[in-house]
Each structure stands twice: as C-alpha cells, then as structure tokens.
Chains A and B, each alone.
Chain A
Amino acid sequence: KAGVTQTPRYLIKTRGQQVTLSCSPISGHRSVSWYQQTPGQGLQFLFEYFSETQRNKGNFPGRFSGRQFSNSRSEMNVSTLELGDSALYLCASRYLAGGSEQYFGPGTRLTVT
C-alpha cells in the first residue's frame, strides 16, 4: 500500500507570495492533518480534515487555510508569506479521527526569502 505523499518536496518563495501544498493520504484513510515543524517552535498542529470538513484548527493566523477533496486529498494554502513561515510542513493521514494511528508523509520544505 502506498504511503502518504506530499508535493512539492521543496519550495522557495518570496515574502508576500502565496503557496499551495498538496497531500495525498494512504488509500482508504479519510483524515488528513497538517503540521508545521520549525527548530524554534517544534511540531505544531495546523488543522485536521475529515470527510471534507475541518474538524480542528491549531493556533495559526487566518493566512493558513486548507481544504479536503472528496477523494481525501488535501491542500493547504499560505497567503502573504512571511519569513517566519519557513518550515517543514508535514501531513499525516489516518483511517478515522480519534485514536487511530497517524502516518506521516515526507514533508514539504518551504523556504521564504
């Protein structure tokens, strides 16, 4: 069974631009979560989608948004990029929300210059 895939793997953007990252979950998984990882703040929860609905949102500004499609694929968008948005963005999928195990994708490394 194929794992979680994320595209692109690396991205360089300029301040003020916007970016869209994509995540394809493991086949059959309906929940997709997004995390931001930085050396200073560690791993921070962004949001979780289940059956095309946002179930939870972390403490991030409205510039960070996401969506999930009917095939469970998810995208996250960051508008008006800031230098501090440089991070590794990880998505994770699981069969259901709640206690089921999460499987992480390889991540997208975003650099904002």
Chain B
Amino acid sequence: ELKVEQNPLFLSMQEGKNYTIYCNYSTTSDRLYWYRQDPGKSLESLFVLLSNGAVKQEGRLMASLDTKARLSTLHITAAVHDLSATYFCAVGEDDKIIFGKGTRLHILP
C-alpha cells in the first residue's frame, strides 16, 4: 500500500527565511504533485513532476523529485506572508493519487 509522508506537518517561520518541506513515499512512482490549500478553500495545483530529477520553479517556490530516493522537496525562498497556507504532496499509483497529510505553513511578518 502506498504511503506518503510529509514533514514537517506544522511550520512557523519568519518572513525572509528559506525552508524546505519534504515528501517521502513508499513505492515506485514517477508522478508527484504539489498542491496549495488556503483555509476554507479548495486545492490549487502548484507543480506536477513526472520524471526523476525534475525541477520546477514558480516565484519563491521550487519543487524537485528524486524517484530513486522516493523523495520530493518543496523549497521556499525568502518567504512572504502570502505563502501562508497548507501544502500537500500527492503521489500517483496506477490511476490513483494518494495525498500526504499536508504541511501547515505559517509565515510571521
């Protein structure tokens, strides 16, 4: 059974700092997704990573995938308050997509 683990689950950080969210998964997969969810809202797709070594960047967020290590990272550079949200990674297995528990990120001004 595919398991997806994110850490940390909660993160409070100062504006301007850098930090990384980690996503480990238990079976072979080459499909990794990152989503953002604001309180009371739906999920917004951030990145889709489809191959080993894939790296994608959008603004202050950069995601990477290492399929050999079964690890994806979401790196936040010079955090700003607007990035406060819950971030989910999700892994594709066959046609299912299994989500991690999410990382609640709170950025202090």
Which positions in A face B, CB cutoff 8 Å?
A: 33, 35, 42-45, 48, 50, 55-56, 58, 90, 92, 97-99, 101-107
Q: How far, in whole Å, are A104 and B41 apart by their CA atoms in the complex?
A: 10
For the complex of A and B, list the 9 residue pairs with the smallest distance between their C-beta atoms, beginning with the closest. A43-B99, A104-B43, A97-B95, A42-B101, A104-B42, A106-B42, A99-B31, A56-B96, A101-B48
With both chains docked as a complex, state the minimum distance between the C-beta of A65 and any C-beta of chain B, in angstroms. Answer: 17
Residues of B within 8 A of A (CB): 31, 33, 35, 41-45, 48, 50, 88, 90, 92, 94-102
Chain B residues within 8 Å of A107, by CB: 42
Contact of A45 among B31, B50, B96 (CB under 8 A): B96
How many Å from the CB of A105 to the closest CB on chain B?
A: 6
Query: Is the pair B96, A90 in contact by a Cβ cutoff of 8 Å?
Result: no
Offer 24 A-B interface pairs, CB within 8 angstroms, sorted by A.
A35-B99, A42-B99, A42-B102, A43-B90, A43-B99, A43-B102, A45-B97, A45-B98, A48-B96, A50-B95, A55-B95, A56-B94, A56-B95, A58-B96, A90-B42, A97-B95, A99-B48, A99-B92, A101-B33, A101-B45, A102-B33, A102-B97, A105-B42, A106-B42
Shortest C-beta distance, A1 to chain B (Å), equals 15
Residues of chain A contacted by B48 (CB below 8 angstroms):
99, 101
CA distance A90 to B99 in the complex (A): 13
Cβ-closest chain A residue relative to B47: A101
Q: Report which residue of B31, B96, B98 has the largest number of chain A beta carbons within 10 angstroms of its beta carbon.
A: B96
